[in-house]
Amino acid sequence: MHWTRGYVTDVGYTAHFYREMAPAHLAFAALVSGRSPGGAFAPRRVVELGCGQGFGLALLAAANPHIAFEGYDFNPAHVVHASRLIANAELSNIEVIEASFQEQAAAGQREPADIVSLHGIWSWVSADARDAILSIIRQRLRPEGLVYISYNCQPGWASILPMRQFMLDTRQRNPGHSDTQVGLALDQLTQLRNGGAAYFTANPPAAAHLDHLLKQDKIYLAHEYFGADWEIMPFATVAAMLDEAKLGYVGSATIAENLDQYAVPSALHEMVASAHDVGLRETIRDYAANKRFRRDIFSRGMTPLTKAEHRELLERVRFVGVRPREDFKFTFQGPLGELTGKEELYKPVADLVAQKPATVEELRALPAFRNESLGTLLDCLALLIHSHQVFALTPGVPTDPAPSQRFNRWITERLKIGRVYHSIASPVLGSGLPVDDFDLLALSAVFDGCHEDLSSITRHALNIFKLLERRPQREGTALTDDEEATRFLENQIQPIIENKFPLWRKLGII
């Protein structure tokens, strides 16, 4: 068998960061589910199986210099990218190793891990590879350690599964690079949809999914849809397989999915509550939300918490705002649609966490919560975290900003040669934040030592465009006149200087 084992390798995987993989996020997700955060509260070692380009793992290593990180990937091109990133950011607490899951499983014992994570792996590998993954977990995971695993699930794929087969058929009939084949398949699907094909007219979810695909990176879609191994599993099947490695279900890393009032129609709450085992309960939840992707947390040796233990652990967590206060919103996209929070509850929480990291005790002391239950406050915090507006900080060692700032500087240096990464590391969060192109241009000016005034930063940004032989674009139109381009860039950069620079400094990003 060829070393690729049917996996897409002619185009490298995308380099993204997924905040659900941050130890602090996993710890809070467990607490929201009423479970112990176990090894995620103060991890010593994190292992990622199938780390791809290594960008997300390296970001976490930069943001958590007190934790050892290991990444494994069988694609040597991915390992080369990760190794260069690690070397250029001078990260000493991470190693990335070229090895298949089968090779790792056969390699024998290494140091035990508190967290083992695999994102976008389980559904896209062979049964033999899944067996090897289970073997690695059995060998490496400490008692009370956590496993993060994301995968395609039932029943949400039912209406759109034929589109994947259509894309595979298109690929087989049209030799070429995988991303080009994706583009051709999408063009043909669009032609079918626009021409009134009954599959789309009778199946609105398929038409909506096609619109979603048309907005995605074609390289990402090649890896998503073209692998030789591609299996959609119900939760109960995955849970039974992980049980062989002594793992029990903790909850979802997608925070709102742990709260039935937001994730399940009210008429089905009793049905969920009466489910006699976790497999049935999660299956009902998946059907209730027509779910097609899960981000699950499992634990080895999970023990239930008493109410007192749960409160004590929550009191050790602090909560901090991760966007400028004026950008907070109290409408949330939940599993079933849009939710609107009560401003009289959410506003004082946002006001406090935007000023400083706050404990549960400090938040409960707010006038708005003096007559409210702890559960009401946790619901507010859960939705603010779910919507990327607040982050939970777990107890840890004193923050060292140097590795994060080296990592972030490297990201801005890559921008100058046209390599764009859309996340930056925060040592305060032990995680990353999303950034857009204008954020990166402004950050580049800071790391290059520019004066932090609008004129200097705008001039620096325009020079980067010229270095890349590109022009700023407004609504798809290139701005060829320097004065017009400068005015446009000033409008984008001014709010970054005023609102994001203070936040980024507070979070140790710059």
Look over the chain and give the mean of its residue pLDDT values, rounded to a whole number. 93
The per-residue pLDDT for 5 is: 56
Query: Distance (Å, rounded) from C-alpha 14 to C-alpha 34?
Result: 34
The per-residue pLDDT for 13 is: 60
Is the pLDDT at 9 greater than 80? The verdict is: no
Instruction: Give the E-state strand segments of 262-383 in sequence order.
Output: 293-300, 318-321, 331-334, 337-340, 358-359
DSSP letter for each residue of 335-354 = TTEEEE--HHHHHHHHHHHH
The per-residue pLDDT for 147 is: 98
145 within 8 A of 299, measured Cβ to Cβ: yes
Rounded (5°) CA angle 226-229-234:
110
The per-residue pLDDT for 174 is: 86
Is the pLDDT at 11 greater than 90? The verdict is: no
The per-residue pLDDT for 210 is: 95
Average pLDDT of span 362-370:
96
Is residue 256 very low, low, confident or very high in pLDDT (cuts 50, 70, 90)? very high
392-439: pLDDT as tens digits? 999 876 689 999 999 999 999 999 999 999 999 999 999 999 999 999
The first and second tokens of residue 379, run together, are: 């619901």
Average pLDDT of span 495-509:
96
* Domains in the chain with CATH codes: 19-155+232-300 (3.40.50.150), 161-225 (no CATH), 318-393 (no CATH), 402-506 (no CATH)
- Which candidate, 420, 315, 328, places its Cα nearest to that of 377? 315
258 within 8 A of 219, measured Cβ to Cβ: no
The per-residue pLDDT for 112 is: 96
247-252/293-300 β-pairing: antiparallel
Tokens 């603010």 -> residue: 384
Query: Distance (Å, rounded) from C-alpha 40 to C-alpha 394?
Result: 9
Residue 399: how many other CB atoms lie within 10 Å: 19
The per-residue pLDDT for 3 is: 41
Is the pLDDT at 342 greater than 90? The verdict is: yes
The per-residue pLDDT for 196 is: 94
